[in-house]
Amino acid sequence: MTSIALSAGTSEAALDALVHAVTTNQFALPDDGRVLFLRARDGHWWGGHSRARWVCQQSFKPFADALERSGLNVAEPEQDARFPLVLILPPRQRDEARALYARAARHLAVGGTVAAAVANNEGARTGEGDFRQLFGSAQVLSKHHCRVFWSTPDADAIDAGLLAQWQALDRPRPVGDGRFVSRPGLFAWNRIDAASALLAAHLPGTIRGRVADLGAGYGYLAVELLQRCAEITAIDLYEAEARALEPARINLESALAELGREVPFALHWHDVSRGLPERYDAIVSNPPFHQGRADQPELGLAFIEAAARALEPHGRFFMVANRHLPYEATLAARFSRVQTLTIQDGFKVFEASGTQA
C-alpha cells in the first residue's frame, strides 16, 4: 500500500509558511518567471504572481491531479534544466529529503536561490541542518509552526562529494533479506509490512485469471501472488506514488525470472479512489487509511468501492485492514458474501465476493 502521509510528504502548514515567505518577499521571484517546485502543492494564493513558467514536480497522483486541474505544468524537469529559484516541500523521511535537496542543487542555476519549508513536528530542525550542510548557509523564517530556510549559495559552496552521496540515496536498493528492492519514503520501505504479510499468508492458491493489486507499493503482494498462484494470467499494479513503480517493476521482473514464467504485468500511476479502468477476476489490497497523523477510513472505503466496481461477477476481493477500522458495513453493502479469514496482531483479513449494486 501507499501511506498517504508519507507520500504527501508535507503538511498544509509548511505550504502556508512557504507561501508567506514568497508573498512577503523574503526572497525574490525571478524576473523571467522560471521556478522549479519540488513536491509542489497548489490551492494557495501566491500574491498574483504568474506561474505560467513554473515546473511543478509531484510524484503523488492525487496532488499532481490537483495541480493540473489548476492549469499548472506538472512535469519532471529536464536533466540539464537550471532554474533561478527552486522551491521544496521536503518529506519527513530523512534519506528521501536529502535526495530531494541534492536534486534541487542539481537544478539550481548559478546565482539562484533554493528555499524549503518543513513543519516543526515533521523534522524542521533536522531538515534545516541538512540543508545547511549541503548549501553552506541558510536564512530562516519561523511561521505557522514551521521553518522556512533558504540560501543563494556560491558556486563552490556545494560539496560535490556530499551532493553525489545524497543523489544516490533515492536509488532502489535491496531491503530486508534481499528478496526485494525499495527506496526511502515508500510505505514500509525497508521491511515487509506486517499487515501485508498477514494478507499474503491467507491468499489461496486458487486465485486465477486477471488480477489487480490496489496500492501496490514496491510490489510485495504482487510478487507473493505470482509465487502462490500458478494460474494468474496477468497482473496490474495500481499505485499513487510514482516513486514506487520502478522498484515494483524490478521486483516483479526478478520474481518472474526466478519462477521461469512469463506473466504480463502493468504498472499504473493511478489514484484508485477515482475508479479502475479495467475489470478483474481477483483484486487484493492493503489500502491506505490515514493522511497526516489522523485516521481517514474513507480512503479504505474508496478502495472497497473501486474493487467492487472493477470485479467480474465471479470475482473475489481480498483485503487487510487495521482491526479498528469500520469497513464491515461497506463490504456487506457491496458484496453478497463476506468472510473474515483471520483477526490477529491488530489486523483483520477479508475475502468478499458476489458484487452488488
pLDDT, one tens digit per residue, over 223-277 is 999 999 999 999 999 999 999 999 999 999 999 999 999 999 999 999 999 999 9
Domains and CATH numbers, the chain: 4-169 (3.40.50.150), 173-355 (3.40.50.150)
Q: What's the pTM value of the predicted model, to 2 decimals?
A: 0.92
Looking at residue 263, its amino acid is V
* Residue of 175, 167, 179 whose CA lies nearest to 227: 179
Higher-pLDDT residue of 48 and 188 is: 188
pLDDT tens string 129-149: 999 999 999 999 999 999 999
Residue 126 pLDDT > 50: yes
CA dihedral 271, 276, 280, 284 (to 10 degrees): 20
Task: Work out the average pLDDT over 59-67.
Answer: 94
Q: How many CB atoms lie within 10 A of CB 156?
A: 8
What pLDDT is stored for residue 291 in this prediction?
A: 53
Looking at residue 355, its amino acid is T
pLDDT tens string 335-351: 999 999 999 999 999 99
What pLDDT is stored for residue 44 in this prediction?
A: 65
CA distance 172 to 169: 8
Least confident of 31-45, 170-184, 198-212: 31-45
Task: Work out the average pLDDT over 80-92.
Answer: 96
CA dihedral 132, 136, 137, 143 (to 10 degrees): -30
Distance, C-alpha 94 to centroid of its chain: 15
CA distance 73 to 88: 16
User: What is the radius of gyration, based on Cα positions, of the chain?
Assistant: 22
